[in-house]
Amino acid sequence: MKVERVKGTRDFLPEEMAKRRWVFERIREVFERYNFTEVLTPTFEYTELFKLRSGEEVVKQLYAFVDKGGRDISLRPDMTSSVARLYVNSFQTAPKPIKWYYIANMFRYEEPQSGRFREFWQAGVELIGSDKVEADAEVIALFVESYLATGLEDFTVNIGDRILLDEFAKMLNVEDDIGLMRLIDKKDKLSREEFVNALKDFGLGDEGVEKVLSLIEIKGNPDEVLPKAEELFKSEEARAEIKRLYELVDLLDAYGVSRWIRIDLGIARGFDYYTSVVFEAIAPNDLGIGSIGGGGRYDNLIEVFGGKPTPATGFAIGLERLIPILEWKGLIPEVKLRPDVYVIPIGDEKEIKRTAVEVLSALRRAGIKADIELMGRKLRKALDYAGRLKVPYVVLVGKRDLEKGNATIRDMESGEQIVVKKEEVVSELTRLLGV
């Protein structure tokens, strides 16, 4: 019986893995430059953890099951809940702020589409313990720098605010503010007519619909947008939050990332636990891919999981969305999977094979990527194989050379060969390869 791959998952072949690893490492370098340290939580958690965060509704998208011990378990749909659980379990008395990052796989039972899979990878950070606007600026600046580290420059980071959306819901006399936010969050996935009809089905009249349509148009350069927000919002809480946004924008300018920053008051982000600033990255593309990552402040989540009230902020980068865009733009370097040196023993004598392995091991210990003929091919076929691999140099170890303590280095492009002492193979190849 042929067993197929599970729907919504993928096999990554060596070239794909090399490209993915390159992206992972560029992002990891920036995370660590900002002094975030890596954590990894279990792939599965008690389902209750995710119910506490988002309620029973979240179970529909979970890979949830009962294990052999009768426990309700779910594969993690994100890392924020797991990291918050880790903090509550073991780090509530640790010095603040705590700055953690992760690069890991997540699981959600969704319909696969462009940039969306049932198993997917995210790179993210959580900054726990600071309620200061400086923490928001630190995280958003890192968010921008992470994309820049991959070579991507054509993108924007749109910043919204859940407090202002809450205030807006009060202005409309809407009791279900979370429901309104979820509708606003879907605005880019609907046509204008569909969005208007959804707002009316939600219970808004014509005046309310027009106010929502006006709100989602308040977006663009912070210098232009924030004064409009001041005109719209009059409550003390809203004005305090707008002041915070002014401070945030000023700090991001100091970080040198203001070129990529926009304000968009129509951003809600999908998770209900966000409490203040929210943000997402958009990179124009022809692949049908929308947001390539996002995050925000979540000052109440740790308390939900049984911890003391603790402010926190963070983000996650959607690697399954980012990588196709990087490939589409030609930003991922060409992958080189071949070895730099291929060692071929000529003959079956024990001493020849042993010497070939000794040369191979010396090359590897010197930091040279090297491989050896393992199929027992004759010389011509072994050279043909090395040619198909596009190996630049081959080391030939034969009886005649061995009797004199030598080995032969062959330049596969020119066909030229030089004979060197066995002990000089490493130094000569180091010179030829420029390593």
Beta bridge partners of 291: 282
Q: Which pLDDT score, from 0 to 100, does residue 175 have?
A: 66
Cα(225)–Cα(228) distance, integer angstroms: 5
Q: Which pLDDT score, from 0 to 100, does residue 172 have?
A: 78
Q: Name the pTM for this structure.
A: 0.91
Mean pLDDT, consecutive 10-residue stretches, the chain (435 aa), reads 91 95 98 98 95 71 94 95 97 97 94 80 98 98 98 97 86 72 72 76 74 81 93 89 97 98 85 88 94 95 95 97 96 93 96 96 97 96 96 96 95 96 96 92
Beta bridge partners of 74: 45, 64
- Angle between helix axes 80-90 and 47-54 (nearest 10 degrees) is 110
Q: Which pLDDT score, from 0 to 100, does residue 115 have?
A: 64
Closest CA to 225 of 136, 291, 161, 173: 161
The token pair that represents 334 in the structure block: 């060409």
Q: Which pLDDT score, from 0 to 100, does residue 114 have?
A: 65
Q: Which domains does the chain have, with CATH numbers?
A: 14-328 (3.30.930.10), 341-429 (3.40.50.800)
The token pair that represents 101 in the structure block: 């990052």
Q: Which pLDDT score, from 0 to 100, does residue 33 have?
A: 98
The token pair that represents 259 in the structure block: 């070129």
Q: Which residues contact 167 (CB under 8 A, 6 or more apart)?
A: 233, 235, 237, 238, 241
Beta bridge partners of 127: 99, 313
Q: 62 with 36: CB under 8 angstroms?
A: no
Q: Which pLDDT score, from 0 to 100, does residue 55 have?
A: 56
